[in-house]
Structure 1
Amino acid sequence: ARERDFEELVGALPNTVIDYTSPVLDSVVLTKLGKDLSRSGNFLGAYRVISREGKSLIVFGGYPGLRRHLTAPIYGINHPKVVRMGVGKSAANAMLRSGLLLTLIISPVVRTIEWLFIDEKATLELVLARISTDITKGLIATGIGYVGSAFVAAAFGSSVVAVAPIAAGIAVAVTITLTLNSIDEELALTQKLADSLADARKDWLITTGRIRWEFNYYFSTPEGALDFIRRFPGNRSW
């Protein structure tokens, strides 16, 4: 019931929010770019990267005056409009950084909300394990998606269909996410990590408890003080 409340409030379940926020945001950029290119003639409009006076420039085809965002025929490769529309290597790098940042931020926030309001019986170790696997899977999926995007862009050569690299990156990232989730579920990796953290916590509590007891014994009791002194060489005759 609480998961349904979360879904009604956010629009998706916790796992969906964590796994697919970045691809959804990338899809928004893809849709925006596709619409802009369609205005000037073709959804599959291409661009070329040229070099002039040591500067890399992106040259778009079609009729720039009909577009709403990319209204010039040529832009610098680092131009804010180009980066915002997800075109070129600089834009791909920016999307990679934002994807990694989203992964690092969203998982801890959502898992904490899930723990406090949905799965209150979950242990701290399980919550930490979920965050750890979320981040690991997210980094892998985002990184491989970036590689897929770069590979597609390179495959087109001198004339790149503008929407292709973004679409490829999204498709690869989603596929990798689904695969990693399946592996995690089949092998129970998150639960195993939680169990390992729980064991480590128990060992730590036992160790610190023993250290605390020894400290209190040796430094808070007369018998302990004598035993502590006897431990030094030359004092064993006491």
Structure 2
Amino acid sequence: MPGPFLPNHQPHDHPSVSSFRIKEKLKRDFDGNTHNIFALAAEEFVQLWIAVQKQSQLSIEAMQKKLSEITGLSLAQTMLFFGANYGSATIESTALSKLAYDFKKSGNILGLIEYKRLNGKKYIIFKGRPGLRKIITGTRYLASNAKLMSVGIGTKGSFKGLKSGFLISIFFSITLNTVNWLFEDDYRWTHWLATTSTDIIKVVISGVAAALVTTTLTIMTATVVVPIALGIAVALMVSGKLNEIDDIYALTDSLTLYFEKKEKEIVSKLESGIREVLVFSARKLRVLVHNFVEARIRRLIHYISQSANMRLN
């Protein structure tokens, strides 16, 4: 017995099934396609370098000597970064670039390095290896002096399917009032996100830049989802407590709800269209049947009339 569906019209998944599919796909994509971007003050970068050295079980004296050899700073100067007031220690531009080069050579920085001076402070901007995320959130000084802006991107594919997703995590110094300038040019992003389509990158970056103009991104207790193109949405959130958040969970939930809502709208439009077609078809069928019956009745009356006339003659 044929099913109750029109030809080529299949039943839709239960909403919970569709949501689960989208959420799991986003989590897998975010886990496997995360880009960690850092915009740190010079002294914060030195502390990140020190935190990485500590993982190698180096003594403070060994780290001071290594820092001195790389930067050209005296041992007395390097000691300031290990003292009680290490947050107030400063480093000159030349020494900073030498330390950054060492960090890149050791595989901690991936590709492009930028330097920027804002409000009289020096900042270094780069893409870091995945392991740096755990280090910066697990280091008290860095976790207390940085915010995290998470940008989750989801691109919708065919109906009931998610094409792809990726996550950008931006760790930035609390001394920065904004990171809008990071999104003013897309050249750095095409370099940092080299495995992603350039067209997608340009749409995403311009969309995020526009969202930042209209959205307050100080500390956000909830994510903001911004549709930026057909089938592409961005979820944004900012946290000042790096070791207390699960941004992947929050972003996947928000994007899942967004795409689920869009799917329901599509289904509603499809079903509304099908109903309109059925109503229109029923009306046409009624007219056709009426015309057919009326024609047959006229033919029958004509036939009876002719037969009666023949009998009279």
Establish whether TM, by shorter chain, passes 0.5. no
More helix by share: 1
- The answer to which structure, 1 or 2, has the higher relative contact order (CA under 8 A, 6+ apart) is 2
Q: Which protein is bigger by CA-based radius of gyration?
A: 2
More strand by share: 2
TM-score normalised over the length of structure 1:
0.30
